[in-house]
């Protein structure tokens, strides 16, 4: 049995760890609330853009083919959104694993992959893999703005418009609630048409100034808003996952402290008993 | 939306917030090709918007919003204004794209490390490992 002093120093060090994990838990909780708020305020826009895009898919424009036509996937663009920091459970690892299985499937069909990475963890994970990384963004903070996303989206979109890449996917963590986040991979381009019966007749928009310009602007906005939404959602996921991970760590530390305290008390008592019996034994010997 | 042909649904949203949502008798915006006045049953139209005012008229009163550009979609029963929060210009977008590309190259070349954070993370990882070890010892 280890000495009382050793156990005491162990307890002390666990306490210190506990204060860190508890502080991180509380910080994550408050950041998560803010991130959720941001997620809700940006939702109307992404929903409306998707609606307009859905209408557009029903319109009979000559130019829309570029965005709707399903081509053979010879070259694929991935936008992978992860967090910058770790200590948030298996959040990033799960996402990256999902993405890699997805990529491997595509690779078997001899597709070449281009990656756009958002977040430090994605960069770390894919740098070694020898994949073709064409753009990255990291350290965007807790409240990223659309400005910070325009760049990476433009790189992808330009390549798509030049027909260099045939489709674009975005991968991120979907915020379901505080306890569960699921990795999600969605196709952004070619557009996924929405089923709506209302507009099933032959019609087209009037475009001002001209179809190409308006459609390009609209798809840029669409992709940006979807990626922005993904980034925002991923931040909420990160904070929720960190909160849960840190809560577990704090609980574990508490359990350990309780156990060790018991061991310590026993050791202390044992040594007192021993000393007592030694004194009594000594007194007996003297008398 | 069939309830009345007298009004048209209006949604004004920007990427970071919802600005207005409701019914209107008419709305006025400044499109890329000139001013637009939109009444219910307007023909479908898709246009870029110039920076300027969006006026929403409902009965007697009028609400006015300023937007710094964006897109407008008109369906006979609903008008959607997608306002830009970011200031857009072809050259600005281009420089943002270059910045992202440059970052990618930089990230590939060298380990950029947020030093302080990783020190704390390393400490914590160590502590967690210690906890685990202690736990295992306790179990035996």
- Which candidate in A19, A217, A249, A266 is best for mutational testing of the B interface (most B CBs within 10 A)? A217
Same-domain check for residues B80 and B98: no
Same-domain check for residues B76 and B128: no
Same-domain check for residues B78 and B125: no
State the CATH number of the domain containing residue B14.
Answer: 2.60.15.10
Res. A148 pLDDT band, cuts 50 70 90: confident
Same-domain check for residues B15 and B61: yes
A64, pLDDT greater than 60: yes
Highest mean pLDDT among A50-59, A240-249, B21-30: A240-249
Q: Is residue B65 part of a domain?
A: yes
Domain membership of residue B68 as a residue range:
8-89
Same-domain check for residues B20 and B70: yes
**Whole-angstrom distance, CA of residue A24 vs CA of residue A27:** 5
- A268: cis peptide before it, omega within 30°? no
Q: Is residue B3 part of a domain?
A: no
Q: Is residue B15 part of a domain?
A: yes
Same-domain check for residues B79 and B135: no
Which helix (H) or strand (E) segment holds residue B101: the answer is: helix B90-109
Mean pLDDT of A35-60: 85
pLDDT of residue B2: 46
Same-domain check for residues B82 and B125: no
Q: Which of A88, A168, A188, A189 is catalytic?
A: A88
Nearest Cα to Cα of residue A121 among A167, A172, A155, A70: A172
Same-domain check for residues B65 and B100: no
Domains in chain B, number: 2
Same-domain check for residues B57 and B100: no
Q: How many CB pairs below 8 Å do chains A and B form together?
A: 167
Four-CA torsion A240, A245, A248, A253, nearest 10 degrees: -130
Residues in chain A within 8 Å Cβ distance of B134: 10, 14, 256, 260
Alpha helices (runs of H) in chain A, residue ranges in sequence order = 4-58, 65-68, 91-108, 120-127, 147-161, 211-286
Same-domain check for residues B12 and B56: yes
User: Which of the residue ranges A98-112, A129-143, A166-180 would you say has the lowest mean pLDDT?
Assistant: A129-143
Report yes or no: B107 and A162 within 8 Å, Cβ to Cβ. Answer: no
Same-domain check for residues B114 and B73: no
| Predicted model pTM | 0.81
Which tokens sit at A91?
Answer: 């959040």
pLDDT of residue A124: 87
In sequence order, the β-bridge partners of residue A270 are: none
- Which candidate in A13, A22, A40, A147 is best for mutational testing of the B interface (most B CBs within 10 A)? A147
Helices A147-161 and A211-286 cross at an angle (nearest 10°) of 130
B13 and chain A in contact, CB less than 8 A = yes
Mean pLDDT of B20-33: 88
Residues 6+ away with beta carbon under 8 Å from A28 = A239, A240, A242, A243, A246
User: Which of the residue ranges A198-212, A225-239, B4-18 would you say has the lowest mean pLDDT?
Assistant: A198-212
Is A116 part of the annotated catalytic residue set? no
Mean pLDDT of A133-138: 88
Mean pLDDT of A130-141: 85
**Whole-angstrom distance, CA of residue A233 vs CA of residue A241:** 12
Q: Is residue B54 part of a domain?
A: yes
Four-CA torsion A97, A98, A104, A110, nearest 10 degrees: -140
What domains does chain A contain, in order, with CATH numbers? Answer: 4-22+245-278 (1.10.287), 31-243 (3.40.1380.10)
Q: Is residue B1 part of a domain?
A: no
Report yes or no: A140 and A227 within 8 Å, Cβ to Cβ. Answer: no
* Per-residue pLDDT tens digits for A165-174: 999 999 999 9
Report yes or no: A79 and A228 within 8 Å, Cβ to Cβ. Answer: no
Same-domain check for residues B54 and B119: no
B1, pLDDT greater than 50: no
Q: Is residue B56 part of a domain?
A: yes
Which of the pair, B117 or A3, is modelled with greater confidence?
A3
């Amino acid at each position: 049995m280890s000495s009382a002093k050793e156990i005491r120093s162990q307890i002390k060090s666990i306490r210190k760890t506990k204060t860190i994990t508890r502080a991180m838990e509380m910080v994550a909780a408050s950041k998560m609330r803010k991130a959720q708020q941001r997620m809700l305020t940006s939702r109307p826009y992404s929903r409306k853009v998707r609606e307009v895009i859905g209408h557009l898919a029903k319109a009979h424009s000559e130019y829309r083919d570029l965005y709707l036509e399903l081509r053979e996937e010879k070259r694929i663009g991935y936008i992978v959104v992860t967090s910058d920091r770790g200590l948030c459970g298996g959040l990033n690892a799960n996402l990256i694993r999902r993405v890699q299985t997805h990529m491997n499937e595509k690779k078997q069909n001899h597709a070449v992959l281009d990656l756009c990475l958002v977040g430090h963890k994605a960069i770390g994970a894919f740098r070694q893999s020898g994949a073709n990384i064409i753009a990255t963004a990291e350290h965007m903070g807790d409240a990223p703005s659309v400005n910070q996303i325009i760049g990476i989206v433009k790189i992808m979109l330009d390549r798509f418009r030049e027909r260099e890449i045939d489709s674009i996917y975005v991968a991120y963590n979907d915020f379901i609630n505080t306890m569960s986040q699921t990795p999600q991979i969605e196709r952004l381009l070619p557009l996924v048409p929405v089923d709506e019966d209302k507009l099933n007749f032959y019609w087209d928009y009037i475009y001002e100034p001209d179809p190409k310009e308006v459609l390009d602007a609209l798809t840029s906005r669409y992709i940006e808003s979807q990626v922005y939404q993904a980034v925002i959602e991923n931040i909420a996921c990160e904070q929720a996952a960190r909160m849960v991970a840190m809560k577990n760590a704090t609980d574990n530390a508490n359990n350990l402290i309780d156990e060790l305290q018991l061991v310590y008390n026993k050791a202390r008592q044992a040594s007192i008993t021993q000393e007592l019996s030694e004194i009594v034994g000594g007194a007996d010997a003297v008398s | 939306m069939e309830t009345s042909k007298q009004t048209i649904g209006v949604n004004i949203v920007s990427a970071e917030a919802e600005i207005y949502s409701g019914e209107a008798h008419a709305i006025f915006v400044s499109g890329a090709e000139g001013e637009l006045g939109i009444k219910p049953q307007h023909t479908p139209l898709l246009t870029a918007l110039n920076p300027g005012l969006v006026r929403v008229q409902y009965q007697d009163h009028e609400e006015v919003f300023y937007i710094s550009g964006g897109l407008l979609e008109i369906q006979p029963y609903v008008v959607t204004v997608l306002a830009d929060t970011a200031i857009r210009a072809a050259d600005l977008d281009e420089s943002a794209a270059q910045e992202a590309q440059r970052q990618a190259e930089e990230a590939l070349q060298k380990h950029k490390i947020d030093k302080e954070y990783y020190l704390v993370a390393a400490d914590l990882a160590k502590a967690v490992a210690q906890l685990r070890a202690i736990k295992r010892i306790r179990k035996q």
